[in-house]
Chains A and B, each alone.
Chain A
Amino acid sequence: MAKYIIKRIAMAIVTIFAVATVTFFVMNMVPGGPFMAEKAISPQAQAALNEKYGLDKPLSVQYTTYMKDILHGNLGLSVKQRGRTVNMIIGTKFPVSARIGGMAILAAVMIGVPLGSIAAFKRGTMIDNIIIVFSTCGIAVPSFVVCTILMYILSLKLGLLPTYGLGSWKNYIMPVMALALYPSSYISRLMRSSMLDVMGQDYMRTARAKGLSQLVSIFKHALRNAILPVVTYLGPLLAYTVTGSFIVEKIFTIPGLGSEFIGSITGRDYPLIMGTTIFLATLMVIMNVLVDVAYKFIDPRINLK
């Protein structure tokens, strides 16, 4: 087990390293550097700026400096937001996104798992069909469509919820709903097929032969086996939530890391783009490692080399 964890961490580090490298070189493919979009500035000012941001040194030196900085957790200075480091920006914006994202993931699991299980249990009945229909639609509708429809109905037409900002708890409802729709539908379908699979297994028959009730069999024997694919999905789920946040934050005007990232793209704030990319990538890689380890705890069979 320990060997496995070490291997996974090692691979994670390599991946993050690769992502950082790719990010760096891609950003430097852009001709002219970060100040191109600015109004014409004097060569001296340009040189001064270049020196401040270390852009006058050869690429290889820039690269090593950057990598060293990352290792120390320093993601550099924002170019557009003078005086603020990337770390600061991420530090203030990320918790906002994390809160919404976290709630969405929690909601998705807490809705998807029971619904999928019920659908499997009541296979072929009306309940099952309803759940299938809703979850199939849920994975087909793109998040921006969901967001805008929700906003239109709940905000503009019914006036129940505010359209932007994070004033009160009410502001959280629509973003979380919008973000959680796709994953909860996906998990519901996943759980259903996984449960159906498990319920047909021989050990379920053994459980009944022992005299266990349906309820106990399901909760004790079936669930733990059936939940495995859902655990595997948690990694991609996080990735989805991160990218989904871009849209949700844009539409509902939420000051989170997602909208910050989008803003940095249009504003060509390269250090911020790079810093955010590396931060998010690291987050996802770590999450994947955690998920893999958790999986091994639940299922003792998995013997990954």
Chain B
Amino acid sequence: MPKNKLSVQLNVEDFLPASDAERESLTVMRKSVGFWKDGIRRLKKNKISMISLVVILLVFILSFIVPQLYPYSYEQQIRGSENLAPMHYSQKEITAMDSGESVFPHILGTDNLGRDYAIRVMMGSRVSLTVGLVASAIILLIGSLYGSIAGFFGGWVDMIMMRIVDMIYTVPDILIIVLLSVAFDQPLKALAQRPGFQWIQLIGVNLISIFVVFALLYWVGMARIVRSQILILKEQEYVTAARALGASSGHIIKKHLLTNCIGTLIVTTTLQIPSSIFTESFLSFLGLGVAAPMPSLGSLASAALNGLQSYPHRLFAPALMISVIILSFNLLGDGLRDAFDPKLKD
């Protein structure tokens, strides 16, 4: 171990004191990064999340922009073109093409009423996405509000509010949705006849029931998360107060609120979207979703069951679409959570 025989050649200059400059050159500090920049940087590195993001963008384009430019509309029934296989034309259309007209191909064929299936799938996707986003927005709003109030006030207010949450949690949601859909059916139909409420007919009674139920039941998860965030912040608030920083505690709360709370909220909402879409498609499949003729991916799949043997594509197209949507949102949500989780810092 200890040696006195040196393995290095030395001379006098070596023993001169080192200057400050020389010493500083050796200290390399790791760059410190801001929270958001760091998170976004990590998200970008996550290839799966980036791919999911691109897929989601494509889906959005397909659902909202392409239908506007598409030559067919979702309720347009083309006589003589019923039950066409993908990329086939009806007799009428062939005649029209022969005489020089250009007929846009039915990429996914048509359904039994002669409606172009591709546009119906795209519209169905639009409906599913819209429902998912609107429902998630409702959940975010009600959940955060409820959770913030419970967390902020604490005490018996908190206790009562949380007991209610516990009870709602145990109630089976689908049952209530089904009940409400059935119950609202007549009254809303009656309401839809009245002037100013025509839009109800368009969206469908069932969809409104779904939104109502989302507003009533599904926000509880979000409320719990927000509440726990607020509780953590309150701890910090007291610490800050104890340090008697006075007015700047408000500033610090805002700063911490932004970093902690919003990060969690973004992740939770992103993961809530596929869940809402799932629920909507599930209900549509059972016949409790949007009203015909507006399609939803769930109702399209349900209708395709009958002709499964002969027209399998009618099932696979909406099924694939919805799986892709749900999967991408889930992967993106996972990626966001990994990116903004401080524990996983490199």
Contact = CB atoms under 8 A, between A and B. Distances in A.
> Is chain B in direct contact with chain A in the complex (CB below 8 A)?
yes
Among B174, B190, B298: residue with most chain A CB under 10 A: B174
A142 B323 contact: yes
Contact of A247 (B170, B184, B185, B282): B282
Contact of B308 (A143, A145, A151, A266): A151
A1 interface: no
Contact of A26 (B179, B190, B274, B278): B179
Contacts of B334: 136
B302 interface: yes
Contacts of A31: 186-187, 190
B330 A140 contact: yes
Nearest to B277: A142
A27 B278 CA distance: 26
Nearest to A238: B172
B301 interface: yes
A152 B326 CA distance: 22
A242 B181 CA distance: 18
B285 A242 contact: no
Interface in A232-266: 235, 239, 242-243, 246-247, 250-251, 261-262, 265-266
Interface in B282-325: 282, 285-288, 298, 301-302, 304-305, 308-309, 312, 315-316, 319, 322-323
Nearest to A156: B309
A295 to B, nearest CB: 15
A291 B303 CA distance: 38
A142 B326 contact: yes
Contacts, number: 122
B170 A15 contact: yes
A247 B278 contact: no
A59 interface: no
A14 interface: yes
B278 A142 contact: yes
Contacts of A281: 171-172, 175
B266 interface: no
A136 B327 contact: yes
A247 B302 CA distance: 10
Given A143-B282, A281-B175, A26 B183 contact: yes
Interface of B: 163, 166-167, 170-176, 178-187, 190, 274, 278, 281-282, 285-288, 298, 301-302, 304-305, 308-309, 312, 315-316, 319, 322-323, 326-327, 330-331, 334
23 contacts: A11-B167, A27-B179, A29-B183, A29-B187, A30-B186, A136-B330, A141-B327, A142-B282, A142-B298, A142-B319, A142-B322, A144-B282, A144-B298, A148-B319, A151-B308, A239-B172, A242-B172, A243-B173, A243-B282, A247-B282, A247-B286, A265-B178, A277-B178
